[in-house]
A = this chain, B = another copy of it.
């Protein structure tokens, strides 16, 4: 590389679920945990900038919310900004933070991902989710996110002759992983039969194919790689950044079964990382619906088109398989507080690559990939992490 790189030296995570905490409390909990996790400590006054990834769900402080991060994180006066790319908000916030360090402008930067979704009614919730899709055509015709992903799933099962059991197996696996994660919203396994017999939400997707409605926050502390050893003996390096976009509306795209934003982001990230797909120990992918995990595995280049279902059915993507996917339970079981998800994925990379993931530890994890998607694929980030 030769260029300055960013490294994570601390990370914090609240439980994901239906929580009593206010948004301010969630920020504070995640940030306090991140500072507490820095092995040799990091002074709050050393943090020069913060990025908040949040959709601003339910209308809490819809504008200028980043200022609240400076207040709650105890970094008064520091530059703060909010990055909003729907469900990929904190994937992009992490990207911005890394760029700030790579540019040489900053030496220590805080990333916070946040969403508080359970303090509003279900009709308002549909509104807030709706505004992250194409409002001009998709929402006008009544299409929800489950509907959009339902269309993608139907097309995928048809085109590649994949059985619905492959989708169900994604849920079964991620619930099994979530049962090992004390921060997960759902910590109990489900059977394939239960997934297949759950009420349909948008055929072929049923209730257990969908991620839940979650409150939560995650925080990351990034420093310049050269300085990282001052804070810990086991920093996690951001080895490659990738980002891409696509049309907002599904109807404008060439394919319903592949996300260009993901493919672009993956190519960029690997071009920069200096290692390839075979060296990746595990994936954190954006499984807002079970179909999304299969598409992600393919678009990220870990399976040919139509083949991710088979891999999943064979157990390759389970903990203990040859390429574990979503060891933390994924959005499906861990939960999906919109703006918190990208930071939560990086949190998982941090604890796994340091060998601190407990019951869900991926053995010998040295390189990880995190994949965060906005909307139905209008934006995506891919971030590669490695031990130094």
Contact = CB atoms under 8 A, between A and B. Distances in A.
A61 B131 contact: yes
Contacts of A83: 81-84
Contact of A379 (B60, B64, B103, B379): B64
A61 B265 CA distance: 23
14 contacts: A63-B84, A63-B133, A64-B378, A67-B248, A67-B375, A71-B247, A77-B264, A79-B244, A79-B245, A79-B265, A82-B85, A99-B105, A102-B105, A105-B241
Interface string A79-93: 111111110000010
A49 interface: yes
A68 interface: yes
Contact of A77 (B68, B80, B244, B375): B244
Nearest to A102: B103
Contacts of A304: none
Interface of A: 3-4, 49, 55-56, 59-64, 66-68, 70-71, 76-86, 92, 95-96, 98-100, 102-105, 128, 131-133, 135-136, 241, 243-248, 252, 260-261, 264-265, 268, 272, 374-375, 378-379
Given A71-B248, A102-B103, A102-B104, A64 B96 contact: no
A112 to B, nearest CB: 13
